[in-house]
Structure 1
Amino acid sequence: MGIAVLLGVGSLPATAAPPVVAQSNQWDVRPLAVGYQLTLHLDAPAPMRASLPLLEVDGNPLGVAKQSADRKSLTLVTTDPVVVNAHDVRLVWSGDLGKESSKSRSITAATGSTDADWLKARRGPLLPSDPGVLGKYKVDTAEYNLGDEAVYLPGLAHRSELRGKVYSPHGAIGPRPVIVFLHGRHEVCDGEPTHPADDQKPWPCPPGMKPIPSYRGYDGPATALASNGYEVVSISANAVNAWDSDAYDAGAQARAELILDHLALWRRWSTVGGGPFGNRFVGKLNLQDVGLMGHSRGGEGVARAAQLNADRGGQFGIRAVLPLAPTDFARSTVPGVAMSVVLPYCDGDVSDLEGQLFYDDTRYAVGGDTAPRSTVLVMGANHNFFNTEWTPGQSTAPSNDDWAGDEKASPCGSKSAGRLTAKQQQAVGTAYIAGFFRLQLGHETQFLPQFDGSDSRAASAGKAVVRVTSQAPLASREDLTHFDKALPRGAVSGKVTATVCAGVTNTAVRAALPTCMTTDDWANAPHWTTAWFASKTPTTAVTKIKWSGTDGVVRVTVPAWQRDVRRFAALTFRAAPDPAGTPKTDLTVRIVDGHGRAAAVPVSAVSDALVRMPGANDSGLPKNLLRTVRIHVASLKGVDLSDVRSVELRTDRVAKGSAYVSDLAFSSPGVGLSAPAVLLPKLSASNVTVKEGDKGTHTVDFWVRLSRPSIRPVSVYAETNGDLGTSVGDVARHLVFKPGQVRQKVTVPIVGNTRDSYDLPFSLVLSVPHDALLDQSFGHGLVKDDDPTPKLILGNVKTVEKNGVVNFPVKLSAPSDKYVTFAGVLKDGTAVIRKDYRSVNDDGTGPAVRAIDGYVEAGKTAGELQVRILDDRLKEPTETFSAVITTVDGAVLKVPKTLTVTITDND
């Protein structure tokens, strides 16, 4: 993927369009002084999706596009000259990048039917208690609405509604744990506007339209939780959806602010009362026991809210976060709080399952982190159907199945055997959302097997095949190796190699490590997809084991202080087959004690982690996901568990193969301890403003600061992002703060010139911190143009009647990086419009067109302002008419400016 390129302050004025250098009936390319402006025009508004809109030229994505208010045009600025010779320009989405072209350029993958294997996939034992079943309390519901523009969100620079639906356990005594639900990016308004206008704002809904109630779409899990004694508030975020295409981070900060604003309301309503409920909720909510569920972009919002709450001292006790089919555009981490990421295998919106990176990036982000985390992979589930207001047949407004394609195609077609119906998917969502919060907020430990990687299941989840990958809390876990660094000399023997890898080919990240796999379809590699706002940050490192004989051994030696494993329940690691390897693969895990006694367990006997995921090699399938291998310690008969010396991965099962492995540990399930990570230092990037300068390259310094000194090293990735053009350097750094160090400098080169330009905004993005939280994770940069605005010089015209189209003299006093545009009207003198002359914009039908416009291209000093002279065979005296220029953009001209055209007869 490339760096996100947003058209910002430098967008062109509306008075006149610059010339076109390439076009079709749906797109055009116009030159700029420092690149090109590419615009795609759509017949209908682009859908409101969680993924970012990209413009793809001849199969290559160039960057994130800026959407117009009506979402019918998408524009980006690029310096890539490929656009000049473009043949095909189309809208694609960040979440499923490569899907459109992957049928012809798919990965070199093993063949062999695995779809049938997943239809009869192993299922874990049933939970003795079902979290999807209603509890003993009757559920009371209520709604509140404080207005469409009740609160200002700084992260959005707009005002938002404060609206929500409340689910309460009737008759419950004392303060209850609180769960806030946040929906994702969906259409905002339904219906047709009474008075459509080109400049109509997307929020509040215009007359004739009504807000779409996405916040009402989670009745299932909300009711299940409330009936078991929990308070649930599901909030509306339509304003954020309406305006987030202008937000520097696609709205993550704004969604987090909205959550905290609602919690602040409930702090008042549950203590002193007031608002729409009077004293009804006084003493009923425990805001030190809070969970957050966020769907789609709401998933990134709840992750950011947990960080923001900790940054502000932990004013609310946010202890559990569940991102549901989330986006992750900036690679943030969520330390300190319990987290479970739900990944629907048939997600047709966030098709790359980028939420997997929340787990990958957080699992070792903070030393001593005592919170548990997991991922829940739901086979057969799509993106939308977790919300009934996004589900056809259930929603009040139009909705759709986000998984497109052949309805009979396995495993995700709507009529394929492995696909869940909407109600089945909602039942799974209810079971896992309710089970997670009851476990983490209510310490109802009967639901622990649902999230510990043993794949225990709720009866209410029905036929769903679910795979859980879990990281146990640190107190009940001993890590042997993360498999993200090279193994010691002598650890590998026989015909096998063990290579640390990260990423896939064709991404923007140029890592020092070899890539893990080759693919043109990034949607099938969730661990290695790059984030659009942190595209140069390295992705998850794992070890790739490749063998060509049955004698291969990869040995992990157990240090003396870790050899007694009697207190642990299982040996666990993550594994996945290499898609370019053999169709069937397997490994043997061999545990050896100090006396040389060993127990050997085939991976295939305890897990299907090495079974290739289902789906043909297109549309982002099959996914290549690491899954859990879990070997019960109690099953290791004959081994002295007080003296385990090594764990071996042996290739004796299959003569040739390749697989990925990660995260080898002995562990036991546990709820752990979770709370806002208020003790961690906070990382922030400064904001900078710099003058462009006149020549050469100079620099500007961002400062990345820690809120306080740390006793251990802190690290973070930092990179420039935005419409950098040729003025701002492309910088990527890995910053390491030594103990006691509180600031580091990131120097960004700035290229100056003497041409008048637009001010250029850009960002310094912080991502994947270690042993710290992100506070101000986006540093805002602004390159201010410091060159004088040139003067526009226009002259009169003398022409002969036979000359046809003629040009006025148009000059700039100096070249500019802006397109200079100007416009006005034509006025008759002795010459009469349509008899002696007419506008070049007049096609001869309807009333005469008197409007006239002209321009000077960026980088040039001569421009164009044209008028058409009409020739006839009549002998006439010399005639005149005028062009009165009334508006100008990008240059200095005193208006109105009257220009005279003198026509000499040639008959």
Structure 2
Amino acid sequence: MRVIGRFRKSLSLGMVALLGVGILPALPASATPQAPPSLAQGNNWEVKPVAAGYQLTLRLDAPAPMRASLPLLTVNGVPLGVAKQSPDQRTLTLITTNPAVLKARDVRLIWSGDLGKAAGKGQERSQAAGPTDADWLKARRGPELTDDPGAVGKYQVETSEYNLGDEAVFLPGLGQRSEIRGKVYTPRGAVGPRPLVVFLHGRHQVCYGAGEEPEDKPWPCSGGLKPVPSYRGYDGPATALAGNGYQVVSISANAINAWDGVAYDAGAQARAELILDHLALWKKWSTLGGGPFGRKFVGKIDLRNVGLMGHSRGGDGVARAAVLNADRGGQYGIRAVFPLAPTDFARTTVPGVAMSVVLPYCDGDVSDLQGQKFYDDTRYSVTGDTAPRSTITVLGANHNFFNTEWTPGQSEAPSGDDWFGEDQESPCGAKYAGRLTAKEQQAVGTAYIAGFFRLQLGHETKFLPLLDGSDSRAASAGRAVVRVVAQAPLASRRDVSHLDQPLPAGAVSGKAAATVCAGVEELNAGLARAAASAAIPTCMSTADFGNTPHWSTAWFAARTPTTAVTKLTWTGTDGVLRLNLPAWQRDVRRFAALSFRAAPDPAGTPKTDLTVRVVDGHGRAAVVPVSTVSDALVRMPGSNANGLPKNLLRTVRIPVGSLKGVDLRDVRAVELRTDRVARGSAYVSDLAFSSPGVGLSAPAVLLPKLSASNVKVEEGDKGTNSADFWVTMSRPSIRPVTVYAETSGELGETVGDVTRKLVFKPGQVRQKVSVPIHSNTWDSYDLPFDLVLSVPRDGLLDQSFGHGLVIDDDPTPTLTLGNAQASETAGEVRFPVKLSAPSDKIVNIFGELKDGTAVLRKDYKGAYDDGSNPANRSLDGYVEPGKAAGEVSVTLVDDTVKEPGETFSVVVGAVDGAEVKLPQTLQATITDND
């Protein structure tokens, strides 16, 4: 007779910690916590029941790449949500209530920037040339600047580094310690305090070399591994700036990259804190001296004139740093922010400071170009904001190659091209004519980074044409096709219409219609996040979130409305959209240009056109076809695959001086006419008269600061309870302040889905947001979740994540165990296991087998006996979540020997998830059938 205890794979302590259920108590050496049986499974994935629904786990053969995008798990090609990553990047876990996981056949990891691949179940799709791709190979280029911001400056550049240790500072936003390390670029011989520019790299591999990272502590690097020097990858723009008299420091953030896989905000707060920690050091070094530099920089740094460049997730970090600095009283003069291919997971705004956002068209990591929302959300977020802002779309540029340490052939550690697909494919294949080489892309980055900071920190106005939307270009940017959308400072801008509200009656005539729209309709139901809750019509339909940068939603603010624009549709050449100017707006002589943003509707024809007609008080008109001044209404390159073509609003800019025959002192109306194309559709936004200007930039310290409280609430036994968050302002405001608040996280069936637009009336400083908590009487785990604040208007985000915790208040059930009896022909003997009440927790039972008249291995074996350890006497069992009964079973082996009944026992020494008096001995009787 043979007895074999059942074995099921256990949850690792690391995964238990990730799930927020705490660390299990110490158990006997022979006892390992075990998970409940899988509800569905494949070779490298499984679905198990847990408190909040279903736990989907994917295990990878190799660590997942360190990317800026968020990791998503797909089931049968449909993305279900953001996954948590284990520290070694090999295990991804998602809690969901979606029953689709029970019918899973295929589970894959994709990334939030790659949703176009979801329709192909993770398979890359062939990408043919789009109908307008050839147009972009010979795209129009503006005039070349006389002075090149990418050129070598008059100062020699001295470089040095500082390293205060791999765990020199604790970052509260991460809950871990970080390195303090930086590379310094100094203009040799420059006199007086110099503007300071801080560079922050993004999310990339942390360690490299021979060996393996420890599973539980990925930072600092150990076991022969070396840290990836991502911070050394910006020599081009740093040297261009330092050579022209600017002090530059590029800082390392490997610790954040190592730990932000489970950070509540993907590490944005931690990156901001790290920047401010470095600025605190530079304040000391430039006033008192000390540290590695002695008195070298005393009196040499102007901390009232600071700029920040952040690449990838570093873009989220520098945006948050500018806001955090203002929240703390503007200790440092952060006046200019340059997010480079950035993430924007939570829809923050960056008011008060000058900002330019680079959008690489061939970004294969943040390929939804979510950084566009920094511009969209900030441009009207604060009444009277005097700072300029712009977006810079670079065709042919990918995500990685702005950093030489992320570029093959230039990097110290392994690196690669983040774009995917065949080399010759249009428009982003590595060998396609429109794709920039790594050095060409780096030259573009250098020109725009250096030009932006020299303009905003040094007021070198000769670089205004590079960033004002006129498409002027730097010689060093070479053949790159770059499109800039700019919002001029308020002092040099007159807004005619934002085109984000319904037009007055009679504004549209002829065979045309104008509708305000926002968001997109998702053709893939698994991607539907914001469209259903939109208060106005959606702008377009798509199966690929990656092609709608204005209208795809942010992952931590998934239901907050996106950018509203006007969609103009026409079926004849007599359509007119007319915007009348009030008397005080009619004199436009002091402005340089009339401009607006526009893009073709992807459902329309590849090429469309409109006519701009400017009418004065005498009825005279100047007529300008859009196609003669801009390619904004030409569809961007690509063929409906891999997130392309992008549907991006671009600049239509008409110099006021070209409006011949019109009295510029008395402009009565601006019309958009459909006389160029008989049928079509286009998006339009932000029509204004403006002139280029540097504006006034400074930390927005005068704005009221918005914060969400933290809440702990008991679950309750019946009905619905409430978790009451308080959203507060630091002081009353004389004008209304608005902010969106929504729940985020693994809400399951316990936490209600809440989205609210909060309006603080003048004098009001706090509002309550009640989140429904659905009660039950089952023992469960405590459930964490967040209330996320986003897209404030006339306010500044301070504590933008309110942390909620639903505390389970149900008693731990008691466990009853019983003796067992079975015939040896039954194959196994089952000990009865019952709970006093079902539980949402996994109840694990651990014991040790003891011989009676039945003998180990002759009559039975231990649960973990695979032949390698004949003396193993371990036994375990379980009760599944939601069940009141379970089993501890031992397999019996029939023999042909006639013998009396035999017995053995089980000494239960540990139970997790239930109350029981221990130790407890169970008796098993085996009856003979021979």
Task: Name the TM-score, length of structure 2 as normaliser.
Answer: 0.94
- CA shift digits 1:685-711 (9 cap, x unpaired): 111111111111121211111110000
CA distance in 2, matches of 1:581, 1:648: 21
8 Å contact kept, 1:7–1:723: no
| Residue pair 1:106, 1:617 contacting (<8 A) in 2 also | no
In 1: Cα distance, 2:81 partner to 2:872 partner: 39
Are 1:175 and 2:193 matched, yes or no? yes
The letter of the residue matching 2:445 is: G
Taking the aligned partners of 2:348 and 2:311, their CA distance within structure 1 comes to 17
> For residues 53-101 of structure 1, what are the alpha-carbon distances to aligned partners after superposition, in whole Å with 9 as ceiling and x for unaligned?
0111122211111112221121111111111112221111112223342
Q: What is the rounded CA distance, in whole Å, between the counterparts of 2:847 and 2:222 in structure 1?
A: 32
2:386 partner SS: coil
Deviation digits for residues 272-311 of structure 1, max 9, x if unmatched?
A: 0111111111111111100000000000000000000000
Contact 2:130 2:638 in 1 (8 A): no
Which of 31, 35, 40 is the equivalent residue of 1:22?
40
1:797 aligns with 2:820: yes
**1:218 maps onto 2:234 in alignment:** yes
Match of 2:382 in 1: 366
- Secondary structure at the aligned position of 1:596 is classed as coil
Q: Is the 8 A contact 2:129 2:639 kept in 1?
A: no
Offset, 1:849? 4.7
Q: How far apart are residue 771 of structure 1 and its match?
A: 0.2
User: Is residue 204 from structure 1 mapped to residue 220 from structure 2 by the alignment?
Assistant: yes
Matches of 2:783 and 2:21 in 1, distance apart? Answer: 7
Bigger shift: residues 343-352 or 867-876: 867-876
Q: What SS class does the counterpart of residue 813 from structure 2 fall into? A: coil
Look up the match of 1:263: 279
Cα distance, 1:225–1:759 mapped onto 2, change above 3 Å: same
Residue aligning to 1:605: 628
Deviations 1:862-902 (A, max 9, x none): 01211112221123344333333333221123444443323
The residue number in structure 1 matching 2:661 is 638
Higher mean Cα deviation, 339-348 or 508-517? 508-517
Map of 2:457 onto structure 1: 441
Q: Which residue identity lines up with residue 339 of structure 1 in the other structure?
A: M
State the AA in 1 paired with 2:854: A
Q: Report the counterpart of residue 468 of structure 1 in structure 2.
A: 484
SS at structure 2 position matched to 1:90: strand
| 1:3 equivalent in structure 2 | none
1:17-69 CA-to-partner distances (Å, cap 9, x unmatched) read 11111111121111235421111121211111100001111222111111122
Q: Is 1:165 paired with 2:183?
A: yes
Q: Which residue number in structure 2 is paired with residue 57 of structure 1?
A: 75
> Secondary structure at the residue paired with 1:308?
helix
Q: Is residue 146 of structure 2 the alignment partner of residue 123 of structure 1?
A: no
Q: Provide Cα deviations, 1:800-833, integer angstroms capped at 9, x if missing partner.
A: 3222122111111221111111223334444332
Query: Bigger CA drift: 223-232 or 889-898?
Result: 889-898
Does the aligned pair in 2 maintain the 1:102–1:520 contact within 8 Å? no
CA 1:894–1:387: 2 relative to 1, 3 Å: farther
8 Å Cα contact 1:103/1:618 also seen in 2? no
Shift of 1:792: 2.1
1:329 and 1:532 in contact (8 A); partners too: yes
Question: Using the alignment, how far apart are the partners of 1:891 and 1:417 within structure 2?
Answer: 66
- Paired residue for 1:148? 166
Write out per-residue CA displacement over residues 841-879 of structure 1, whole angstroms, 9 at most, x where no aligned residue: 545566565332211111111012111122211233443
SS at match of 2:421: coil
Matches of 2:630 and 2:711 in 1, distance apart? 52
2:14 corresponding residue in structure 1 = none
2:44 matches 1:9: no
Matched, 1:620 2:636: no
Q: For residue 432 of structure 2, what is the aligned residue in structure 1?
A: 416
Distance in 2 between residues matched to 1:803 and 1:680, nearest whole Å: 75
Letter in 1 for 2:643: G
Amino acid at match of 1:193: G
Query: What aligned pairs does 1:722-741 form with structure 2 within 5 A after superposition?
Result: 722-741=745-764
- What do the CA deviations read for 1:548-581 (whole angstroms, capped 9, x no partner)? 1111100000111000000000000000001110
For residue 514 of structure 1, what is the aligned residue in structure 2? 537
What percentage of residue pairs aligned between the two structures are identical? 75
Give the distance between the partners of 1:233 and 1:830, measured in 2 at CA: 76
Partner amino acid for 2:635?
A: R
Whole-angstrom CA distance in 1 between matches of 2:114 and 2:130: 24
Letter in 2 for 1:562: Q
Unaligned 5+ residue runs, structure 2?
Answer: 1-16, 25-31, 523-527
Q: Counterpart of 2:546 in 1: which secondary structure?
A: helix
Alignment partner, residue 318 of structure 1: 334
Determine whether 1:576 maps to 2:599.
yes
Provide the rounded CA distance (Å) in 2 between the counterparts of 1:210 and 1:639: 67
Amino acid at match of 1:508: R
What is the CA-CA distance between 1:324 and the residue it aligns to?
0.3
Are 1:683 and 2:706 matched, yes or no?
Answer: yes
- Quick one: distance in 2 between partners of 1:862 and 1:892? 14
**How far apart are 1:252 and its partner, in Å?**
0.4
Counterpart of 2:205 (choices 157, 182, 187) is 187
Task: State the partner residue of 2:569.
Answer: 546
Distance 1:102 1:452, change over 3 A: farther
CA distance 1:788–1:390, shift in 2 (3 Å): same
Aligned to 2:3: none
Q: Distance in 2 between matches of 1:847 and 1:277?
A: 65
Report if the CA contact (8 A) 1:100-1:619 is conserved: no
Q: What is the aligned counterpart of 2:402 among 365, 380, 386?
A: 386
2:926 aligns with 903
Q: For 2:109, what is the secondary structure of its paired residue? A: strand
Change (3 A) 1:102 1:713: farther
Correspondence for 1:866: 889
1:692 paired with 2:715, answer: yes
- SS for the counterpart of 2:101 is helix
SS at match of 1:270: helix
Query: Cα–Cα, structure 1 residues 412 and 849, in superposed 2: closer, same or farther, change >3 Å?
Result: farther
Partner-residue secondary structure (3-state), 1:838: coil
Contact 1:102 1:521 in 2 (8 A): no
Aligned to 1:813: 836
How many residue pairs end up in the alignment? Answer: 899
The answer to whether the aligner puts 1:754 opposite 2:780 as a matched pair is no
2:614 equivalent among 591, 594, 609 = 591
Q: Distance in 1 between matches of 2:243 and 2:848?
A: 70
Cα deviations by residue, 1:710-757 (Å, 9 ceiling, x for unpaired): 000000000011111111111100000111111111111111111111
SS at match of 2:317: helix
Code of the aligned partner of 1:874? V
Q: Does 1:347 align with 2:368?
A: no
Q: CA deviation at 1:105?
A: 13
2:120, 2:895 → 1: CA distance? Answer: 61
1:421-456 CA-to-partner distances (Å, cap 9, x unmatched) read 111100000000011000000111111100000111
* Match status 1:530 vs 2:541: no
Q: What are the superposed Cα offsets for residues 473-496 of structure 1, whole Å, 9 maximum, x if unpaired?
A: 000000000110111001101111
Q: Is the 8 A contact 1:339 1:374 kept in 2?
A: yes
Counterpart in the other structure of 1:562: 585
Runs of 4+ off more than 6 Å: 11-14, 102-107, 109-112
Amino acid at match of 1:749: P
Match of 1:295 in 2: 311
Q: Which runs of 5+ in 1 are unaligned?
A: 1-5
Which stretch of structure 1 is more off in the superposition, 746-755 or 110-119?
110-119
Partner of 1:659: 682
Structure-to-structure mapping, 1:839-854, within 5 angstroms: 839=862, 841-844=864-867, 847=870, 849-854=872-877
Say what the alpha-carbon RMSD is for the aligned residues: 1.9
